[in-house]
Amino acid sequence: MTNEAEAQQRIDQLRRELEQHNRLYYIDAAPEISDREYDTLLQTLEDLEKQFPMFESANSPTRRVGGAPLGSFENVKHSVPMMSLSNTYSKEELVEFDVRIRKLIPEAVFDYILEPKIDGVAISLRYENGELVRAVTRGDGAIGDDVTSNVRTIKSIPLRLSDLMPPAVLEVRGEIYMDTAGFAKLNADRQDAGMEPFANPRNACAGSLKMLDSREVASRPLDAIFYATGELSGIKFETHEQMLLSLKNYGLRITPKYWLNDKIDDVLERLDELENMRHEFPFEMDGGVIKVNDRRLYDDLGYTAKSPRWAVAYKYEPEQAETRLHTISIQVGRTGVLTPVAELEPVQLAGTTVKRATLHNEDEIRRKDIKIGDRVIIEKAGEIIPAVVKVVTEKRTGEELDFSMPTACPVCGSEVEKREGEVALRCINLQCPAQVKNWLTHFASRGAMDINGLGESLVEQLVDGGLVKTPAELYALQKVEVLGLERMGEKSADNLIKGLEDSKNRPFEKVLFGLGIRHVGKGAASILASEFKNIDALMAADIQTLEEIHDIGPIVGKSVVEYFQAPETREIIRQLRAAGVNFEQTETGGSNELEGLTFVLTGSMESMTRDEAGDKIKARGGKVSGSVSKKTSYLVAGEAAGSKLTKAEKLGVTILNEEQLIALLGSDEDLTDKKAGQMGFEF
């Protein structure tokens, strides 16, 4: 295609098609094309934009992956202030809220609308003639930060409105959040990569939005819901419900559930119903928002200095427990990070017994004024990680003790340091037994080398006995050496030696993950293995090359380069290679029969592990996800399947048992869809 007019026409057409498919996928949950077809359209657009750079657009779907890092965020004044809502935890105060409104507008007939209160980060998007031109955080309500480049990476947010005749100006306000399943996976990946987990989804979301490199933001599981407007030109909404439905029509995601009620008593009942649904939403929900539905009454009702009089937020009490903090221990992680942990008097919380809670770092301990011996309030941050919320200072006896982080590693006694830009202390001794033990345990774990028989207790004995200091030394172990260890008989020793031998043939991506490179979780390891094919090519890669790889970026790239530049790393690689460990990406010999299908695995299986099942699915072209959504093709439910099964049933996802999965996969030698066809599966 050489004609510029034709090129521009085709580019515009592709952009409209891709935005429509984004809407069908993310907003309507009714995709019309496969992921592969979408990727083909996107690649076609990207090629045309490179060929005709004069038609580039900041709102092109090709910009979803992010751009060059920013130096800082620009301050922007809101055209209409972003006010906050008044909060209450009392239903009695909601009744008083209703009484005040009816006194202000005694003749009016109106109803209330109730929506979930999303615990995210407030955002304002400005569309001009349908095009997204700016995204600004709340800030102080008058001035916020321009985070447009980061918001453009969120795939559910339209870069241009789907209506053919959009208003001249539409400012929408809402909440950017990190979905709970994505947050759990992000934290697991961070811990796998030796990084400190986020305390809760909101903190992770806020931190993501303020990253200067939008390519990193693109890898975070961010989403958004919109529920209000700012400046409007060329459009008017008479009711809040009409506004919500119009936003949805424009391609903007709105709350998945809301209620209309003409009496406050009905609102109170719906609040109880909403609370019972809080675990069904993909976002953290900490209450409900009650608004007068008729927007024409807003001017009559007016505003206080900080909030509107026609709306109020009702917050649910978080489930908390009070207990005593006996002492603070220090954990030394695989990368040497020293993490303070509260050792608690056991207490029941959210259905589990909690004995320990993370304190994150010394700054957090100082901020909350936590002392040893304090009575403390704990809750599950994001209902995932137990955390100390606050100290019950009125119960102090004067015998409580201040806490200070150690000046030396509590395990090996070596010097600790704080790196520039980090709050964490690190042990600088790479041979620290705690680091070595965590490293070896990680290396042998199921997601990495999956070494049969090598668990935490055996790792403890191997390190304490001076038998092993690096993963490479595992492969030099002799049966006679391990026979003398505790609980190590002939059969166990044989199993360990065989497990080590079997692990040499693990896929390259699992070896990479097992190496424990900082910031390199399972996903990044898979991408790197696919991109570079062997360890030599990866070791030779520079930061620029790594940064340009989708979903890698500068942080991971820098970490990879620094890791392989270290002489001790190169020596370990040499030893592992000499031992026969696989450092090359090999062809699976599989098929593409499951291409376009996404599987979620839950519960325990008899004939294989979930990782093994996932590998078989991927070998046949399928995808494996950790969370259930409307785009999930099949949920494979093993024994003791939990909440994922419940969610899949509600979403109408096809459920497979283990036998059905085996039939669907066929044999490893001869992959056909015969059995799948016999069972009624269609592709």
Residues 410, 414: Cα–Cα separation, whole Å: 8
43-45-51-55 Cα dihedral, nearest 10 degrees: -150
Token output for 509:
């991506």
Look up residue 160 and give its DSSP letter.
B
- The residue annotated as part of the active site, out of 91, 117, 533, 630, is 117
**Is residue 616 annotated as part of the catalytic site, yes or no?**
no
Q: What is the CA radius of gyration of the chain?
A: 28
Residues 341, 355: Cα–Cα separation, whole Å: 10
Sign for the pseudo-dihedral over CA of 520, 525, 526, 531 = positive
DSSP of 185-202: HHHHHHHHTT-PPPSSHH
Token output for 238:
């008479």
Residues 335, 517: Cα–Cα separation, whole Å: 9
Residues 626, 188: Cα–Cα separation, whole Å: 11
The 3-class secondary structure across 581-642, one letter per residue, is CCCECCCCCCCCCCCCCEEEEECECCCCCHHHHHHHHHHCCCEEECCCCCCCCEEEECECCC
CB 597 within 8 A of CB 633: yes
Residues 168, 104: Cα–Cα separation, whole Å: 34
CB 323 within 8 A of CB 375: yes
HSE-up of residue 649 (Cα within 13 Å, Cβ side): 7
Look up residue 277 and give its DSSP letter.
T
Residues labelled catalytic: 117
